[in-house]
Structure 1
């Protein structure tokens, strides 16, 4: 399962979710943006950086790492890259924190002594998803993260339960349709041998709720639009209307009209 790309999607759409996990929640948590940044003059690329808005006071940067496999070099790499970024961008922050997310403690590096100055400080927080509590007592955002660790045997049922919860509860600034889309995407990654339609059927989603339906609906609209323009454009041009006027009449791009002149 490509969990890196799943978490990138989750944090890119809803960057404030990271602050449901950490103790040091900034004042403007809802206005942070999630980026993948390159450290100049090095070969480092940091996949998870939460950058504060321009008017934030103080400006606090959060570095995040999601680790789903054992990697004894994780802390060496993560702290080196984070400090290198801080050194290159000194004017962009007033403070910083690191968040490392593991599905369980068993996947944390064994060597916790070498970097104890960080690991034992309040600037670094380690999160173990299986120790956060039961799904019905946690925010929906954290449920999304926990869903990525579900086994193939329990994934479908947990996903369906989460979808029902999303439908019934207030989700604040998290659009319900987008949350359901992420749940579906997680399941698609988990059940890679199934089509998206089969996964959606397994989750009990009605076709109108899914991106598949929305994309098909958009394709149908475009087809109907093309049929109308194919007939109307030549006739209207003969009346003396310009391409721009026709585009304005049908509320379409000029390029769409040009195809049928």
Structure 2
């Protein structure tokens, strides 16, 4: 499995970049609303569209993609992957739902209403997070590099390297396109960062510390992972692996 990086090292890194030449806006977060989440799901990807929450859940032999409403954990549709696949990020583009797998170099395409499997595609290297800008698929692979991919040919069109000043930011994981920026989880940290899609520079960051209160965590509770954006209501939704809740949060810049 992926190796864990300590919160201490992340703290040092983010302190180091705070003096970089390019200003990075730091935000506070506030919880607006809390929705139920199936704490048995190892969340890998999250998407919200037309009142439906799409979720990709990982782990060998347990990987799946499902749809549901925000107020209920019971799936309305569900598709289980073959046990040889470890599911990762998802995104909805041009009436198709795309899903990555971690190490199999395999992606899947579903009908978003029925979750019927309609096609497959090949990815180069590992698949981690997935989003889109309305034209291209945007994929992370666990490094500092984000790829922009043609959704028809699956050819890599260009790459950006995520940086804070001159320092590359590794372990870019779950992705979400939000009002012209790429929001990203950094794996095994509580940071959510905002990335300029043109040059890879980080332009904002928020520490989602204690978003899930300690008293609601169990021995199984894993890391923050899962970002979805409700374009209609302008809601930012976040969760984590084996978390019991999805949170609607708002961000405000620190003075």
Does the TM-score normalized on the shorter chain lie above 0.5?
A: no
The structure with the greater share of residues assigned to helix is: 1
The structure with the greater share of residues assigned to strand is: 2
Between 1 and 2, higher relative CO (CA 8 Å, sep ≥ 6) is seen in 2
Q: TM-score range by the shorter chain?
A: under 0.3
Q: TM-score, normalised by structure 1?
A: 0.26
Q: TM-score, normalised by structure 2?
A: 0.27
Q: Which has the larger radius of gyration?
A: 1
